């Protein structure tokens, strides 16, 4: 994307899917909301393909994602960014954090981490105990000979707070609630939190709209931007779509997979149903995303997960 476009636009949103499968209706909802926030304020909407994990990401899923967004009428600006092509940029920022003394090698296996983690909230989040934080130079040298480490970022024992555009004031303690996070995996791949923080800031993203399961990630991304003197975006987390078992929709809810839905509905029909069920519209008549802009009102979005059946 030419730099001048970025400079002249006041609102820049983005959609950042991981190409690890076909979208389900929950992903479509997140994309639609992010698109609406950006377009309703006359802003740009960027597309970033988060294909950092070489084992799980596939170009065919990235192609399907773009075809599905086009089919839905969610057009993006500029050329999509591929995280897999931005390794040198992540390395630069990784080195900057390392030079500040904020990064250390971690030799723990997944089993070690599970065994030493402090009991935590009801979710399945794993908060690292910091076991490798205090290793001496000799211990590190010795362990390096045995296995390749992952690289963790030290999170300060400090409060983080921000105001979410939908979920309101958010607080956490970075050390207790997030712990020292992996920013580079043992196989050399840079990890999600570092890449997303850097990419959003460098693309000039002003507002991130995505599912509320990433609220805790916002705290980590704001912290990383602070350490790198980058400007973090604002955040609007949207409710999750859940199934009858109160679980968030996943690739397992096959009937709500975009491939299946494309066989049954026109894009306008599908957007109409989604808009009705999520409270964006009072009826379920077919509609285009463009038409939804006129009545889009962020105050009508309730911070409550939405049961979705079609």
For the bound state, the minimum distance from the C-beta of residue 217 to ligand GLU, rounded and expressed in Å, comes to 7
Asked if 246 and 220 count as a contact pair (C-beta separation under 8 A), the reply is: no
Q: Comparing C-alpha atoms, which of 118, 122, 107 is closest to residue 176?
A: 118
Rounded to the nearest 5°, which phi and psi values hold at 61? -75, -35
d(CA 193, CA 212) in angstroms, rounded, equals 16
Which 3 state secondary structure label does DSSP give 121? coil
For the bound state, the minimum distance from the C-beta of residue 19 to ligand GLU, rounded and expressed in Å, comes to 9
In a 13 Å sphere around the CA of 30, the CA atoms on its Cβ side amount to 28
In a 13 Å sphere around the CA of 269, the CA atoms on its Cβ side amount to 8
For the bound state, the minimum distance from the C-beta of residue 16 to ligand GLU, rounded and expressed in Å, comes to 4
d(CA 250, CA 268) in angstroms, rounded, equals 23
Enumerate binding residues for ligand GLU (CB under 6 A): 16-18, 50, 196, 210, 214
For the bound state, the minimum distance from the C-beta of residue 210 to ligand GLU, rounded and expressed in Å, comes to 4
d(CA 267, CA 70) in angstroms, rounded, equals 10
Q: Compare residues 132 and 218 and give the one whose CB is closer to ligand GLU.
A: 218
d(CA 139, CA 238) in angstroms, rounded, equals 45
Q: Compare residues 209 and 287 and give the one whose CB is closer to ligand GLU.
A: 209
For the bound state, the minimum distance from the C-beta of residue 119 to ligand GLU, rounded and expressed in Å, comes to 26
d(CA 26, CA 274) in angstroms, rounded, equals 10
Q: Compare residues 150 and 217 and give the one whose CB is closer to ligand GLU.
A: 217
Q: Compare residues 18 and 207 and give the one whose CB is closer to ligand GLU.
A: 18
Rounded to the nearest 5°, which phi and psi values hold at 308? -125, 115
Tokens 């994307």 identify what position?
A: 1
Q: Compare residues 18 and 160 and give the one whose CB is closer to ligand GLU.
A: 18
Q: Compare residues 50 and 177 and give the one whose CB is closer to ligand GLU.
A: 50
For the bound state, the minimum distance from the C-beta of residue 146 to ligand GLU, rounded and expressed in Å, comes to 33
d(CA 245, CA 206) in angstroms, rounded, equals 35
- Sequence-distant (≥ 6) Cβ neighbours of residue 259 within 8 angstroms: 22, 64
Q: Compare residues 189 and 196 and give the one whose CB is closer to ligand GLU.
A: 196
Q: Compare residues 209 and 280 and give the one whose CB is closer to ligand GLU.
A: 209
For the bound state, the minimum distance from the C-beta of residue 68 to ligand GLU, rounded and expressed in Å, comes to 14
For the bound state, the minimum distance from the C-beta of residue 214 to ligand GLU, rounded and expressed in Å, comes to 6
Rounded to the nearest 5°, which phi and psi values hold at 171? -135, 150
């Amino acid at each position: 994307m030419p730099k001048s476009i970025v400079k002249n636009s006041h609102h820049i949103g983005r959609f950042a899917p991981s190409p690890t499968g076909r979208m389900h209706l929950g992903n479509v909802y997140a994309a639609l909301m992010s698109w609406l926030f950006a377009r309703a304020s006359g802003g740009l909407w960027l597309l970033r393909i988060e294909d950092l994990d070489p084992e799980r990401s596939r170009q065919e899923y990235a192609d399907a994602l773009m075809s599905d967004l086009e089919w839905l009428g969610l057009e993006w600006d500029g050329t999509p960014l591929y995280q897999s092509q931005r390794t040198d940029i992540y390395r630069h920022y990784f080195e900057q954090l390392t030079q500040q003394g904020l990064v250390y090698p971690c030799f723990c296996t997944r089993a070690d981490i599970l065994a030493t983690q402090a009991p935590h909230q009801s979710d399945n989040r794993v908060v690292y105990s910091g076991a490798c934080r205090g290793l001496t130079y000799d211990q590190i040298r010795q362990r390096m000979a045995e296995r390749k480490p992952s690289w963790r970022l030290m999170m300060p024992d400090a409060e983080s707070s921000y105001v979410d555009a939908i979920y309101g004031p958010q607080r956490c303690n970075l050390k207790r609630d997030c712990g020292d996070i992996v920013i580079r995996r043992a196989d050399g791949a840079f990890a999600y939190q570092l890449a997303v923080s850097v990419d959003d800031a460098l693309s000039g993203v002003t507002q991130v709209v995505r599912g509320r399961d990433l609220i805790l990630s916002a705290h980590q991304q704001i912290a990383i931007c602070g350490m790198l003197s980058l400007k973090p975006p604002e955040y609007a987390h949207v409710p999750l779509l859940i199934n009858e078992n109160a679980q968030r929709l996943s690739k397992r809810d096959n009937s709500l997979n975009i491939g299946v839905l494309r066989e049954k509905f026109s894009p306008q029909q599908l957007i109409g149903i989604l808009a009705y069920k999520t409270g964006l519209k009072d009826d379920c008549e077919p509609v285009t995303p463009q038409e939804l802009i006129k009545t889009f009102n962020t105050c009508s979005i309730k911070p409550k997960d939405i049961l979705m059946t079609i």
